Structure 1
């Protein structure tokens, strides 16, 4: 079991971790895309709801 942990730590040391600035930039991009997609899907949901309500009321 200890061999597994030693090897895991050794592999983690080989990882090319992003810098703090890269992590902040990528996180910002992800949050902006999530916000834009949720806004788009929310508007689409409202449009389809209104369309089907209008369609079923006639």
Structure 2
């Protein structure tokens, strides 16, 4: 019969294990400097504005074409 007084190693539950692994991985991340982050933010905003303008122009052109075809 096994001895019930032996110390049993407790395994952390899923949430605790996930939290420890997540914080461990975040410590390994190389974070950008504030200047790099600001530069990349500007690049994303400019790209978003350009893509919005292109898609808006395409929408306008195709709307006009469909209107001409159907009328």
TM-score tier after normalising by the smaller chain length = 0.7 to 0.9
Provide the alpha-carbon RMSD of the alignment.
Answer: 1.5
Residue 34 (str. 1) matches residue 48 (str. 2): yes
More helix by share: 1
Question: Partner of 1:56 in structure 2?
Answer: 70
Structure 2 unaligned residues grouped into runs of 5+ = 1-14
| 1:21 CA drift (Å) | 0.6
Q: Structure 1 regions of 5+ residues with no counterpart?
A: none
> Paired residues, what number?
57
Residues 1:12 and 1:55: Cα distance change in structure 2 (over 3 Å) = same
- Find the partner of 1:47 among 46, 61, 66: 61
The TM-score with structure 2 as length reference comes to 0.69
